Amino acid sequence: MKRWLGLLFIAFLAACNTDGASAPSSNCINPGRSGLWSDPNTWPGGQKPKAGEVADIPCGVAVELDENAAVRGLTINGVLRFADKDLELRADWIMVHGRLEVGTPERPFRHRAIITLTGNNPSEDQMGMGTKVLGVMGGILELHGEPRKGWTRLAQTAPREASQITVLDARDWRVGDRIVLASTDYNPEQAEVRTITAISGNTLSLDQPLSYPHFGEITFGEITFGVDQRGEVGLLSRNILIRGDDSSNSSGFGGHIMAMMGSTMRVSGVELYRMGQRNQLARYPIHWHLVGRARGQYIKHSSIHDSFNRCVTVHGTNEVEVVGNVAYNALGHCYFLEDGAESNNLIEGNLGILTRRPNKNNGELGVIPTDQTPATFWISHPDNIVRNNVAAGSHHTGFWYALPEHPTGPSATTAIWPRRTPLGEFSGNVAHSNWDGLMVDRGPNKDTLEAEPSAYNPRSNPANSSNDNTQNPPVIAEFKNFTAYKNRGNAAWFRGVNHKMTGAKLADNAIGVTFASSASTLEDSLIVGDSENKGYPEAWEFRGVDGRSLPRPWAASNGGPIQDNFPIRGFEFYDGRVGFRNVHFVNFQPLQIQNAQGGQSETREAGAMSYLRFTAFPIDSRNFAEGARFFNAKPVYLPPRPEPTPEEISKDENADGYRGSVFVDLDGSVSGKPGHAIVLNNPFLLDANCKTKPDWNAAVCNYGYARLYIINQSGGNIAPVSLIRQDSSNPVFRMWGSPKDGDNTRFGATVIKGRSYTLGVTGTMPSKLKLHFDNGLPGDHIILAMPYGGAPFIYRDSWIDNRNKLEPATSRADFDSSAGNKYYSEGGTLWVKLVVQPGRDWAVLDICRNDLCK
């Protein structure tokens, strides 16, 4: 309770002053008196601090630490500097109101400095920051170790059991340094820590042979500069070490650094080890807490490893620089922008390896719900620069744009709209060995902080709720030059409007790019199904007959096929209108897979293009492909999906959307037929004029397709709803509805433009029925017949204006020649025509009994 009161007080102060401009008095940090720690005359009372005591450096006094020291606590109102020698300072806690200095940016510290935080009483609370803390409360923290290259990449593949590796650049690295090699396979746990025992140029000898191979090549360099899959190697050792004491390992109660409003924190060349406090809010290895504007503050070229709670947290703080750091083996989200109000921060050139989800068996719960699916980079506001970082192995996500509707926590305000704010910069980033490489969706719910579907829709004026493109023009969010490989799920997933991914290089992912979006494209990119990086399957895993690892290597839970032989895909259509331009697809071919003993051989399918498998939600019939190039790649594979079983319907797995899969081959680069449609092998979408492609499970058709939605506005269950195409074969399409809040009232089907269909429902026709014909061009139409008794009231486009009310046609010929402004009824059957009017891509009819439309 005491800690929470402290945090609330700090939040109140931040609300009063968020410019971060306060600083300690110049009289305190430019003192008139100085002395050595070891000299009793330096201290009030003529006695230097003893172990178990709280030491206080008064305002106006500068102390030089010239010997190892241990105290219970240390308050710095004046100045504490480390002398130029190897030193260790041990304290339960350190509170900086003045200045703590271990080196400066201009004169980095060159010796060995250790600060060990020893406080192990969780109920102790120093100014709302708990204990085992290096706290900066209005003071200045300067920690600057030797400038050293923080991480590099392998220059060549390091085989399993190798005792030497060759890297691109080992300058400044030394014998005795600890390094970490990132996994280059699907399993992030294949990361390995070793100690350097000898160095010859860029070749490093290791204290132990490697347990796994680590890939070190650029694959397909002859095509759009290739996919750089050279594994990262990070330096963990630094000459300044801030750490929790030895007990931290068993308790998960490590040290933490926390800077408050009015503070200044500049950190470079520092190692943070056994930091963060497990399951504790606001107890992270290094943390700007509600500082506000913090221009000039940073953590650079440092390492954070074996953390019990995150890596770097920027909370309610702007303009911080997080540059060139290495993080390894952290629990929960690693590089973390907390509330959704943090903007104009620079996150550049950082490496994150092995970001772990909490393990409840070890007493790990996480801090917020989404820690269960942790991200190495958790970005809650889009207006930040995220450039040239690497997410090299997470139990779930590499880069997660987890945008709340409004900021949460102490930063809560309705004046900021992260889901509508233009993107700052996302460029040159790399994600591998995760579940998902890049996730732009699933922002935190404002009340529970659990992930919820969240559409990112950047607008010129985020605070204007209008989505009218004239009143509030959209802003393209361009994600540039992203590299992703060996991700078990998506290399990239987007939900929203006006997204563009350019210059992507993707390989060995279960799925390349999925757009749960509209007005979004992939452009000028390379997608590889299977590369030369075969990985290293664990002993129990199913694998390719060529020995390669698989994104889904486990058997299905019912003991059946190998995870339903999960078909890999390059570009996955969904929602819309979405598509790609100028994309190279390489090595999408079926693969024989087997268990570790060489048995149970089955086929894993592959396709350069596909649809989100078995979705029940609507798609857009205008989705498109243009400028496709194929190298040893099957262009299309749409897995077969029959009508759902009763059990599947009860689980909302009806696949209405998927069974209408269609996209347009704009330039013929997929099918050789410009302007033709690629459609799922579903008789309802085809006729004899289509050319079937059995190995695609699809066909090429020279028809225009649109979408028809049947919306029950009366309540009650009318599923399944059926459409019968009125021609010689009379194919039927049954719909069970889009799952939403447990009430399926909206049914959708892909239809051929210009055709006639018969509508049927289960039970009686609703008294209020809306028909929506979408994805059309002016003049496009379909005719729909349905059983209907009595005289209907029908309105076109809007029931508000009687001028839109349809009149009955005098004959079927009169109806057929009409422009959609008449209906025809005879013998218990009603015919209507939906016609797209000029300036629109849709047509709507409201059909009601007794004029219930009004």
pLDDT digits over 776-828, tens only?
999 999 999 999 998 899 999 876 667 789 999 999 999 999 999 999 999 99
Whole-angstrom distance, CA of residue 58 vs CA of residue 73: 14
Looking at residue 306, its pLDDT comes to: 98
Element (H, E) at 663: strand 662-665
24 backbone dihedrals φ, ψ, rounded to 5°: -65, 155
Cβ-Cβ contacts under 8 Å for 687 (sequence gap 6 or more):
701, 727, 729
Q: Is 658 exposed, middle or buried (0-12, 13-18, 19+ CB in 10 A)?
A: buried
Alpha-carbon distance 356 to 791, whole Å? 64
- Torsion sign, CA atoms 63, 64, 67, 71: positive
Task: Determine the average pLDDT of the residues in 747-767.
Answer: 96
According to DSSP, residue 387 is labeled: E
* Cis status, amide bond into 577, omega within 30 of 0: yes
User: Which residue from 843, 846, 851 is spatially nearest to 790, judged by alpha carbons?
Assistant: 851
Give the pLDDT of residue 704: 97
Query: Is residue 138 pLDDT above 90, yes or no?
Result: yes
Mean pLDDT of 491-517: 98
CA-CA distance, 21 to 31, in Å (whole number)? 21
Question: For 128, which DSSP code?
Answer: T
Provide the pLDDT for residue 560. Answer: 66
Helix (H) or strand (E) holding 812: helix 812-816
**Nearest CA among 591, 586, 609 for reference residue 220:** 586
pLDDT of residue 159: 98
**Higher pLDDT pick, 741 / 525:** 525
Of 472, 327, 343, 499, give the one whose Cα is nearest residue 407: 343
> What are the DSSP E strand ranges found in 66-186?
69-76, 79-82, 87-96, 99-102, 113-117, 133-136, 140-144, 151-153, 164-166, 178-181
3-state SS assignment for residue 829: strand
pLDDT-based confidence at residue 2 (cuts at 50, 70, 90): very low
pLDDT of the residue at 8: 45
CA–CA separation, 537 vs 517, rounded Å?
34
Out of 293-302, 345-354, 569-578, 635-644, least confident range: 635-644
DSSP string, 665-727: ESSSTTTS-TTEEEEES-GGG--TTSEEEGGGTEEEE---EEEEEEEE-S-S--PSEEEEE-S
Residue 624 CA: distances (Å) to CA of 525, 613, 615, 682, 773? 16, 17, 18, 19, 19
- Within the chain, all domains assigned CATH 2.40.30 are found at 151-235
What pTM did the predictor assign? 0.96
Q: Which helix (H) or strand (E) holds 9?
A: helix 2-16
Element (H, E) at 390: strand 390-394
The single residue listed with the structure tokens 């090699």 is 181
Counting beta carbons within 10 angstroms of the beta carbon of residue 458, is it exposed (0 to 12), middle (13 to 18) or buried (19 or more)? buried
Q: Is the Cβ–Cβ distance between 354 and 328 less than 8 Å? A: yes
Distances (CA, A) of 843 to 223, 713, 714, 796: 45, 17, 21, 8
705-848 has which CATH code? Answer: 2.60.40
Which pLDDT score is estimated for 32? 80
Question: How does residue 333 score in pLDDT terms, banded at 50, 70 and 90?
Answer: very high
Closest CA to 845 of 793, 809, 789: 793
As a whole number of angstroms, the distance between CA 354 and CA 374 comes to 10
* Strand ranges (E), 529-674: 543-544, 568-573, 578-588, 591-594, 602-604, 606-611, 624-633, 662-665
Give me the amino acid identity at 370: T
Report, as an integer, the average pLDDT of 186-192: 98
* pLDDT higher than 80, residue 394: yes
Give the confidence band of 227 by pLDDT, cuts at 50, 70, 90: very high
The whole-angstrom separation of Cα 696 and Cα 94 is: 66
Give pLDDT, residue 9.
44
Residues 4-20: what's their mean pLDDT?
42
**Would you call 597 helix, strand, or coil by DSSP?**
coil
Q: Cβ–Cβ contacts within 10 Å for residue 677, how many?
A: 26
Cα–Cα distance measured from residue 505 to residue 507, given in angstroms and rounded to the nearest whole number:
7
Distance of CA 170 to the CA centre of its chain: 32
Report d(CA 68, CA 55) in Å as an integer. Answer: 14
| Sign of the CA dihedral running 277, 281, 283, 287 | positive
- The greatest distance separating any two alpha carbons of the chain, rounded to the nearest whole angstrom, comes to 112
The whole-angstrom separation of Cα 199 and Cα 648 is 60
The domain made up of 151-235 is a member of CATH 3.30.390: no
Q: What is the mean pLDDT of residues 551-565?
A: 75
Does residue 748 contact residue 737 with C-beta atoms inside 8 Å? Answer: no
CA distance to 155, 159, 354, 395, per residue, from 190 (Å): 19, 13, 9, 12
Residue 597: predicted pLDDT = 80
The model's pLDDT over 86-119, given as tens digits with 9 standing for 90+, comes to 999 999 999 999 999 999 999 999 999 999 999 9
Q: Cα–Cα distance between 578 and 584 in angstroms, integer?
A: 17
Q: Which two tokens stand for residue 794?
A: 């029908």
- 661 pLDDT above the threshold of 70: yes
Pair of tokens at residue 476: 């393209």
| Nearest in space to 384 (alpha carbons), one of 351, 333, 339, 415 | 339
Name the one residue in this structure whose structure tokens are 């699809």: 698
* Summary mean pLDDT of the chain: 94
**Is the model more confident about 586 or about 647?**
586
Distances (CA, A) of 63 to 17, 31, 474, 714: 31, 10, 57, 79
Whole-number Å distance between alpha carbons of 638 and 606: 9
Query: Per the structure block, which two tokens stand in for 671?
Result: 């099918």
Taking residues 726-733, report their average pLDDT: 94
Q: Would you state the structure tokens that stand for residue 11, as one six-digit string?
A: 């939040």
Q: Give 31-85 pLDDT, tens digit per residue.
A: 889 999 999 999 988 999 999 999 999 999 999 999 999 999 999 999 999 999 9
CB 252 within 8 A of CB 281: no
Tell me, what DSSP letter sits at residue 540?
A: T
CATH 2.60.40 domain residues, the chain: 705-848
- Tell me the pLDDT band of 16, cut-offs 50, 70 and 90: very low
CA atoms within 13 A on the CB side of 220: 23
The tens digit of pLDDT for each residue in 162-182 reads 999 999 999 999 999 999 999
Is the predicted pLDDT of residue 400 greater than 90, yes or no? Answer: yes
Q: Which of 792, 187, 806 is nearest to 538 (CA)?
A: 187
Nearest to 383 by CA among 477, 498, 481, 286: 477
- Look at residue 5 in the predicted model and tell me its pLDDT: 38
Ranking 62-71, 669-678, 741-750 by mean pLDDT, the lowest is 741-750
pLDDT of residue 223: 77
Contacts for 158 with CB less than 8 Å, ≥ 6 apart: 165, 166, 181, 210, 213, 214, 216, 231
